Structure 1
Amino acid sequence: MARKIGSRYTAHQILGRGSAGTVWLGDGPEGPVAIKLLREDLAADQDLVERFVQERSALLHLDHPRVVGVRDLVVDGNELALVMDLVRGTDLRTRLERDRRLAPEAAAAIAADVADGLAAAHAAGLVHRDVKPENVLLDALSLEGPGGAPPALLTDFGVAKLIDSPSRTRATSIIGTPDYLAPEIVEGLPPRAAVDIYALATVLYELLAGFTPFGGGHPGAVLRRHVTESVAPLPGIPDELWQLIHQCLAKAPASRLRAVELATRLRELLPSLEGLPPLDIDEHVEDGYEHDEADEGDGEGAAHGPATGAAQAAAGGGAVPLVHSRVGPDANRDTHTSMRVPAADELAGGAHGTARAPRPVGEARAGSARHHRVAERRRRLKIGVVAALVAAALAVGGWLATSEDDTGSLPAPAAGYSGD
């Protein structure tokens, strides 16, 4: 059913839902648009509405081909809406759910597009603060780029900043999605441009590996890993690409590249990535527990049925929401949620080392259930071999004793054996 949004726009059908609101297909004086209608409780927050109006100019003037443009901001009674350019296509999360991982050339091309958009925003003094696959749209109507990747556009600029208002969160809260949060945010520092670079490097890692470098398990554990653990290298990608990712995932913000540098470096690497297939690695975390594909059908443990929807996304190692969304089944990953900042002793209490090391397919990860089963099989085999050797030794000893009792002496040496 159509509904009026302000005096100039009409929303016709829902395109998607998120924790901040609902995205509608609509039209206005200049043709089709996408309308992000924020939740009613957000619209009722006067502080947020004021921030919304204050940000209007900056958002409207962020004009770049790699950013979904904001055409208007509507404040009408209990309705608060962003009117945006309509992108015909899908988001990057949907692509990951379908393919699990992308070829290096396509992954680097998409990341370079997003870096271009971030460079324009950072130059205008804007920080996105919530870069993740859900906020990257793939334009299906434009010509495909390197590796067959459609052009990528970054959306939802300014929404995190709008919703992160003093009346809604405390100074000890974290806003964002855990898998993509830079360590300085976890430690309570203000977000600057470098947090977007860290998040984009995390997205690029996920496009290549099929899972994020520090994700999996309880959100608190994910946050701790960002601060205490080093990123595990990805086998099978060119060293230059890995060094680029590693630098942008540095714990120190000053060590990361700027967005314009990252975009340039990625595009310089594209020729060397041409024709490389998606990585053949195996790391699979589901609801905090590892599930190895090679385990299926081995007769040990419960079978796992095919994953669909949110479960399929979780199986691919996607973002772990801080709290479960209540706005509908489509919002399986919250965009703007808050969580207490861990204390220093909590951050220091985790195991230091490398998180979620990828490995060749079929090889069990140390500490996983399958790893323990393999180790147990080996232990039992060793015990069996030792028991067989002991039994054989006892049998030989018994035979020797019997022979001595029967003859009164040990058996004569075989021919050719001197006995000296």
Structure 2
Amino acid sequence: MNTESSSSRRLVELTSFVAAAPARPGGDGPERRFTRLLADDGASVRTGATSTVSRVENAAGEAFALKVLRPAREGASPALMAAREDAFYEEYRNQLVVSGLHGFPEVFGFGRAGGRPAILMEWVECASLHQVERDAGVPWDGGRVARLGAAVAAILDSTSALDRGFVHRDLSPRNIVLRTSSTSVTDQLETGEFDVCLVDMGSSVALSDADGSFTMLADVWRNGTPDYAPPEMLTRDVTGIDKLRHSPAVDVYALCSVLYELYAGFAPFRVSEHPEASPYRLKMDTSPAPLRARSSRDEGLCAIVMAGLARDPEGRPTVASLRAALEAWVSGDAGAEALLAPFGGTPPEGAENGASGEKDGASGDAPGKRRAVSRRALLAGAGAVAAVGVVAAATGGFGLVGSGSRRFPDLTWDDLAEVSAEIADAGGEEAAIEVARRHGICDEDGLIDRSLVKPLVVAGAELAAQVAGIAHDVRADGSPIGLTFLLTSVMPEQRAMADEAYQGGWETSGMRSWMAGDLLDQLPEELARNLVAAAKLTNNVGPAQDAGDVTVTEDLLWLPSYCELVGARDRTSFSENYQYLADVLNAEGSQYKLFRDQGLLARGDYEPLVREREGVADYWWLRSASPDVSLSEGMAYFNRTAPNGDPFHYATACTDASGVLFGFCV
């Protein structure tokens, strides 16, 4: 690149420059305005997979974005280098198509910088949706999600008026940005008036009868971001795939995936958590977990978002229909969902099972998941073919308790064991929740009633337990267990292990031995005789770096794991050298409905996990060993939930003492 030092800047000269539009009358010509630019190599440089974007200024102080194709890898063939340049120029041509529309950066021209192709365009002062989402740390409310979705859909819908249609094909939180030159992100979030801009057109296509030939001629296969892209953008080996990839239905799917993540706190399929799985097969062979409304008002919004995630492109709403439905929902129109009727307006086929096959719809297994988690799939899958409710059928569908009129406050542990068996035999999550609802365990919205507790006395201490899971845990043979309970307060401190050289995990810990012996002996007899051993997944090594170190134990009493409390942790939330932590922690089960109902996330507000001992918030053990700290310290460290509810940052040595909050199944 032709450069000259100028204090902290360098001079960039664009050659072979062709302006995107004629020069303004009376203004500077393209050569003067666009070809000699000062670049700042500081924080304003953005490096992508194939290009680098820098902020540059001309002599008049106008700011632009200069996107330069990065060099091909060493030893690349001339044919590959030519194909990359062709693809980059095609990106420029597609940007020109939408350059004059609101919601897209303006494009000024194409040239070469240092001999490499370069696109000169508008510099957008902005914050990406990814940044905004990360900084918030909690899911968005329904109103913000719908307004953001309507704003993006309006931009996409505006391209239908072009002589040549347009499909972005890589919508993601990184490529949807909020302009901040006029209104701050905070103000946009408060008002719901979003100044959206769609950037990075590397996968975009301007539609015409001949456009399908570019991929075949240049052999440049453009993919979307796997977490958000529809199946047709993740494969090249399907007959007629090129036509499917040129449909606006691609953007509908991606946008609805983004809206799903904003509302739920995680992407529909959590592709990044299944690094060994084919994203295409994951999205074709499974369905996303249903987007669960946090209020009755949000049910319509969730239905709209799920409609856009149909596996078949023809089953998705059009961009215009999606926009109309979101705008109608924002305005309070009760008929918003009806606008999607021609496209089904319902979750994708099989969505009731969740993407993972887990009964609670949380993150679980997928093709290629490591062996320990595949073991979880085996257990859950076996449960799906377990007893089919013969007793329930014989008693009018309400199990041995009878008509269902006996509700939770009146039930003994013997009664609850019968209700649990009925739930286990219900045959699916929705049926299980309906049984729980009829017994007063869940409210009308299907959420666990957190006010319901069952008193119990252990070693003279007055404690209580509440329902945490419904058809969540399984026996060792894979058959489902109907009800899971957790204590509501913390028992006195215990050591996890007395041996300072201990490097194992939950399976061989002193804590587990104590719970299976002395603690079990101190339980009320009626509860003890109704306990059911659950198959629990745990890192039983301690200093683990692979999800394959997670194995199964059978326990009547146990400590909860990290992900059973807060769900799966995104790998990208850890630095590159520590992403294995997410693999190990996420393999230890899936989030309990009690906490999922409260919208609890792996990086969010932990208030739902605050537990007290004798009226004071206290620490309490998890069975999750801390892989990295155990490795660095040479002995086992176990995670604890802190007095502020944080279950990750307060791991301590197994020889220390912390409170106990145990779980069990009946």
The bucket for the TM-score relative to the shorter chain is 0.5 to 0.7
Q: Which residue of 1 aligns with 2:46?
A: 16
Match of 1:36 among 49, 57, 67: 67
RMSD (Å), alpha carbons = 4.4
- Higher helix share goes to which structure? 1
Contact 2:257-2:309 within 8 A present in 1 as well = yes
Q: Which residue of 1 aligns with 2:313?
A: 253
Tell me the alpha carbon deviations over residues 125-179 of structure 1, each in whole angstroms, 9 at most, x when there is no partner. Answer: 22211110110111123344574444121111245569x9558757xx6723211
Tell me the alpha carbon deviations over residues 46-70 of structure 1, each in whole angstroms, 9 at most, x when there is no partner. Answer: 2343454455454224122222232
| Percent identity (aligned) | 23
Report the residue type matching 1:184 in the other structure: E
Paired residue secondary structure (1:180): coil
- Paired with 2:205 and 2:101, the residues of 1 have a C-alpha distance of 20
Unaligned runs of 5+ residues in structure 2 are: 1-8, 15-34, 207-213, 334-359, 374-485, 487-492, 497-505, 507-538, 545-567, 580-589, 599-621, 625-661
- Paired with 1:51 and 1:221, the residues of 2 have a C-alpha distance of 25
Q: Which residue of 1 aligns with 2:124?
A: 87
Report the residue type matching 1:113 in the other structure: A
- Paired with 1:197 and 1:221, the residues of 2 have a C-alpha distance of 22
* Greater shift in the superposed pair: 149-158 or 201-210: 149-158
Q: Which residue of 1 aligns with 2:277?
A: 220
Report the residue type matching 2:63 in the other structure: P
| TM-score between both structures, scaled by the size of structure 1 | 0.62
Distance 1:269 1:318, change over 3 A: farther
Tell me the alpha carbon deviations over residues 220-263 of structure 1, each in whole angstroms, 9 at most, x when there is no partner. Answer: 24332211222222221522111111111011111212222222
Match of 2:227 among 175, 179, 182: 179
Alpha-carbon deviation of 1:271? 3.9
Q: Quick check: 1:129 aligned with 2:175? A: no
Alpha-carbon deviation of 1:75? 2.9
Q: Which residue of 2 aligns with 1:338?
A: none
Q: Which residue of 2 aligns with 1:4?
A: 12
What pairs with 1:200-349 in structure 2 (closer than 5 Å)?
Answer: 200-215=255-270, 216-218=273-275, 220-235=277-292, 236=294, 238-272=298-332, 315-316=569-570
Contact 2:92-2:110 within 8 A present in 1 as well = yes
Unaligned runs of 5+ residues in structure 1 are: 274-280, 305-313, 320-327, 333-355, 383-420
Alpha-carbon deviation of 1:269? 1.6
- Paired with 2:97 and 2:234, the residues of 1 have a C-alpha distance of 31
What pairs with 1:134-149 in structure 2 (closer than 5 Å)?
Answer: 134-143=174-183, 144-145=187-188, 147-149=190-192
| TM-score between both structures, scaled by the size of structure 2 | 0.41
Q: Which residue of 2 aligns with 1:111?
A: 149
Contact 1:212-1:318 within 8 A present in 2 as well = no
Q: Which residue of 2 aligns with 1:323?
A: none
Alpha-carbon deviation of 1:282? 11
Q: Quick check: 1:47 aligned with 2:83? A: yes
Alpha-carbon deviation of 1:197? 0.9
Q: Quick check: 1:26 aligned with 2:56? A: yes
Report the residue type matching 2:45 in the other structure: L
Report the residue type matching 2:50 in the other structure: A
Alpha-carbon deviation of 1:303? 11
Paired residue secondary structure (1:80): strand
- Paired with 1:259 and 1:89, the residues of 2 have a C-alpha distance of 25
- Residue correspondences, number: 315
Distance 1:161 1:104, change over 3 A: same
Contact 2:68-2:117 within 8 A present in 1 as well = yes
Alpha-carbon deviation of 1:181? 2.0
Alpha-carbon deviation of 1:180? 1.5
Q: Which residue of 2 aligns with 1:361?
A: 595
Paired residue secondary structure (1:11): strand
Paired residue secondary structure (2:287): strand
Q: Which residue of 1 aligns with 2:253?
A: 198
- Paired with 1:357 and 1:271, the residues of 2 have a C-alpha distance of 34
Q: Quick check: 1:66 aligned with 2:100? A: no
- Paired with 2:266 and 2:300, the residues of 1 have a C-alpha distance of 21
